[in-house]
Amino acid sequence: MPPLASYQPAVRSGVYVYTSGQLPMVEGRLAVTGKVGAEVTPDEAKELARTCALNALAAVKSVAGDLDRIARVVKVVGFVASASDFTGQPAVINGASELLGAVLGDKGVHARSAVGVAVLPLDAPVEIEVQVELVED
């Protein structure tokens, strides 16, 4: 999917690939909008985090050529647009972490941050960034 602004979905630097923030876009549109704990349930948000992770893997593949080139996922940073009393950000971002583990096995185990924020671009409920190390050429 083309970027929504002036940036690249992913860039490679040496053996590392860094993705830009990936939203839960499906066929070019946000699947759901709103804040988690208000318009969006935690379970819906967890599924949206999985979608973000799939989009991140697609961005990695676009610069790495093949997902088989992934040596490991180094870090995931997840942002959750949260209602003022919502504190379940880690459980939401588990959707992304679990997807990466299911797709990549041990190579998908990573460090992680899960951050609650007031608002995300386009009123998205979740956004994920992924840092990946590639197998050396």
- CATH number of the CATH domain containing 96: 3.30.1330.40
Residue 6 lies in a domain: no
Query: Measured between alpha carbons, how far is 10 from 43 in angstroms, rounded to an integer?
Result: 28
pLDDT score of 4: 63
Residues belonging to the chain? 137
pTM of full prediction above 0.75: yes
Contact 51, 92 (CB under 8 A): no
Q: Please compute the mean of the pLDDT values over residues 99-113 and round it to a whole number.
A: 98
- The answer to whether position 7 is within a domain reads no
The model's confidence at residue 2, banded by pLDDT at 50, 70 and 90, is low
Contacts of 20 (CB under 8 A, 6+ apart): 3, 7, 8, 9, 10, 59, 129
Angle, CA of 134, 49 and 86, to the nearest 5°: 130
Q: What is the DSSP-derived secondary structure letter of residue 121?
A: G
Number of domains in the chain: 1
User: Under the phi-then-psi rule, with left for phi > 0, alpha for psi from -120 to 50, and beta for the rest, what region is 112?
Assistant: beta
20 assigned to some structural domain: no
- Which among 58, 77, 63 is positioned nearest to 117, based on CA atoms? 77
Q: Is 16 part of a structural domain of the chain?
A: no
Question: pLDDT tens digits for 52-76?
Answer: 999 999 999 999 999 999 999 999 9
Which residue range forms the structural domain that includes residue 106?
A: 41-134
